Structure 1
Amino acid sequence: MADQAASQTAAGPSTTPLDIQGATQNDLEVADDETDSAYDDDDVASDTTSLRSSIEDYHFQNGRRYHAGPNDEQQSDSLDIAHHIWTLTKDGNLHLAPLQNPQRVLDVGTGTGIWAIDFADHYPSASVIGTDLSPIQPLSVPPNLQFEIDDCCMDWTYRKESFDFVHIRSLYGCVADWPAFYEQCFKHTKPGGWIEQSEMGVVPKSDDGTVKPDSIFHQWGEVSLRAGDEFGKSLRTVDEMKQGIKDAGFVDVVEIRTKWPMGPWVKDEKLKEIGRWNRLHWESSMEGWCMFLLTNYLKWSPEEVQIYLAKMRAMLRNKGVHAYQDM
């Protein structure tokens, strides 16, 4: 993940809000026991009004439901798994920005709404808004939270300088014009307020050479980046957002980079737990990530994609491959 916390105006010297374990590691230490039981197969397996008419403008393709992206129950489950991993990574914290008594908070691209719900519970005096294109959020929510159908890529309809905190997570592949998006963030954040963006890289890597140039993991990285380029929405956000946030005018920009192991092969217990959940995240999410892009923009057949996914699942279970993704 790359995690960006940035203030709308200068608020003193830049400091790292929280020390994330693994953030400055060059290498991840491989667990001594390559037969770790963690590899068992049975482990924890816009204008708002103008959008109303398209709230459920879904389409179905290859057995999946899509809006702007996959939004069916399987995808919702994977989003909640990712939320759990983010929370593990941040040592149980919902944010890294040094917030003090936030009063008005925006969660952009809220998805299932799980982060917004947890945040509203934790800060009962804050007014929290979660926005998304799809109404997949629960109806029973804290009284200080409301969900709205909105397109974050259009001009925002909120009053300027109205939010103490803008939270952004996993919008890679969702935004075509990042400078325009960050401009909206800047305009709508109060002076002295913060935005925080958390993103994941899509390219599997290794520090010990076990992700080989001829491997399916290496192919996944190349294919994913190419598909995002053809789609017109970059999947390189993890590496591009720091400069984009600075270019929008934010100051005190803090970048915290770490690694999510793609399996429980790591010696460190916290990272092992993250790896265990991240492998499940990949297994539950891969089809939603790539089926639409590869069939529509790289012209693969659904059968070719399924063979591709089967190879990926096998590699994820390969104990000798010590892969991770940048975060």
Structure 2
Amino acid sequence: MDGAAHIDVQTLEEGFGDADSGYGGSDADSITTSLRSSALNYNGRRYQQVGNSSFGNSSYIFVRLRAAILHIPFADLAQPNDEQEQDRLDMLHHIFRLVQGGKLHTAPIGNLQRVLDIGTGTGLWALEFADEYPAAQVLGMDLSPIQPDMTAPNCTFMVDDLEQERAYPPSRRFDYVHQRSMSGSIGDWSQMYSQALTSMEPGGWIEIQEFQVWFCSQRPGGLPEDSAIMRWQKLIDEGSPMLGRRLNYASRYKAHLEEAGFVGIQTQTVKSPIGSWPKDRKLREIGVYLQAQMNEALEAVTLGYLTRALGWTETEIQILLADVKKEFNDKSKLLYTFCWFITAKKPE
């Protein structure tokens, strides 16, 4: 298990070839699991309350694909953490493993003693990593306590806020830090990575795994400027920075890592389809799951940014989302995005 877990990008790219015109329908509705609980109602969804919560004075919730950063008086509300959202997080974990050919990491890690999973969400990555590396002590951190009570002996979970002073002892140093699907969750990434660098052993690795929140089409001419998806993603790009947390952030992490002092930074992007249109079986499976992800995440993403940042009404948003969902579920659009894997090392 030591060494880099290289992703066979060439094989994936070759599978993009032609669309499968004979493969019918969307499989998104058939893919779900079930899990746990919640906190506060807003815009028809339950959100974790932070600020005046029982979990401390915090400013956001660590949950994958930070979908809806909301700013309202006396409280910050973020990504919903209800059962529907937790199911989506578990599905997203499965998607990352599919993209990586079943692997959990791409960093060339060797013998590990301590591993930190920031924004652990439901804790699946931390649990599976602890199982694959039984000699390592794995700590999963999140602001939302939605992890299982029963866990591996070498895996623990902690409620903590990465934008505040760490709850764990400063003397605790990590050999490997893992971050996944946290775009839209941090106000100051440079500070966060400087803090991460301080908490790592010399020669330790950090790895960031993130889907870019920008979608393209393989059709000639690409995605039309007047398409609903293009309009939607431009609105998200406009609204999310107004709330201090840009959602489409995958391409920006490298600069923050360099500023913090990391070295040996490597970036790998993997083209990933949306929907069942590829002929290649592996790509088709990835596409079906990503299509399901978008169907689950769209409303949560859009409500926060468009209502709080851009002043849209919920009725206006639902009209837009109806068109966006229609396009995301139309396999003739040949939609895809990119999954980013960024690794960096703390100097020896």
Identify whether the pair has TM-score above 0.5, normalized to the shorter chain: yes
Counterpart in the other structure of 1:7: none
Counterpart in the other structure of 1:139: 149
Whole-Å separation in 1 of the counterparts to 2:15 and 2:240: 28
TM-score (norm 1): 0.86
Whole-Å separation in 1 of the counterparts to 2:314 and 2:170: 45
Q: Deviations over 1:140-183 (max 9, x none)?
A: 11111111110012233442570000000111000010100110
1:290 Cα deviation after fit: 1.7
Equivalent residue letter for 2:211: M
1:121 maps onto 2:108 in alignment: no
Equivalent of 1:206 in 217, 228, 234: 217
1:303 Cα deviation after fit: 1.7
Whole-Å separation in 1 of the counterparts to 2:232 and 2:14: 23
Equivalent of 1:34 in 18, 21, 27: 21
**Structure 1 residues 16 and 272: alpha-carbon distance in aligned structure 2, compared to 1, 3 A threshold:** same
Contact 2:113 2:136 in 1 (8 A): yes
Contact 2:38 2:81 in 1 (8 A): no
Worse-superposed segment, 294-303 or 184-193: 294-303
Whole-Å separation in 2 of the counterparts to 1:195 and 1:321: 36
Counterpart in the other structure of 1:18: 6
**Structure 1 residues 152 and 115: alpha-carbon distance in aligned structure 2, compared to 1, 3 A threshold:** same
**Structure 1 residues 101 and 38: alpha-carbon distance in aligned structure 2, compared to 1, 3 A threshold:** farther
Q: What stretches of structure 2 of length at least 5 have no aligned partner?
A: 49-59, 61-77, 340-348
Equivalent of 2:47 in 60, 66, 76: 66
Counterpart in the other structure of 2:192: 181
Task: Name the % identity.
Answer: 37
1:228 Cα deviation after fit: 0.9
Contact 1:162 1:189 in 2 (8 A): yes
Equivalent residue letter for 2:256: G
1:228 maps onto 2:215 in alignment: no
1:283 Cα deviation after fit: 0.6
Equivalent residue letter for 2:160: D
Report which structure shows greater RCO (CA 8 Å, sep ≥6). 1
Describe the SS at the equivalent of 2:89: helix
1:207 Cα deviation after fit: 3.5
Aligned length, in residue pairs: 302
Equivalent residue letter for 2:205: W
Equivalent residue letter for 2:153: P
Counterpart in the other structure of 1:249: 261
Describe the SS at the equivalent of 1:212: coil
1:41 Cα deviation after fit: 7.0
1:193 maps onto 2:182 in alignment: no
CA RMSD in angstroms comes to 2.3
Contact 1:30 1:322 in 2 (8 A): no
Q: Deviations over 1:196-249 (max 9, x none)?
A: 001111111124335211001111210111121111112232110112112211
Whole-Å separation in 1 of the counterparts to 2:40 and 2:163: 20
Could you say which structure has the higher strand fraction? Answer: 2
Q: What stretches of structure 1 of length at least 5 have no aligned partner?
A: 1-14, 46-55
Describe the SS at the equivalent of 1:278: helix
TM-score (norm 2): 0.81
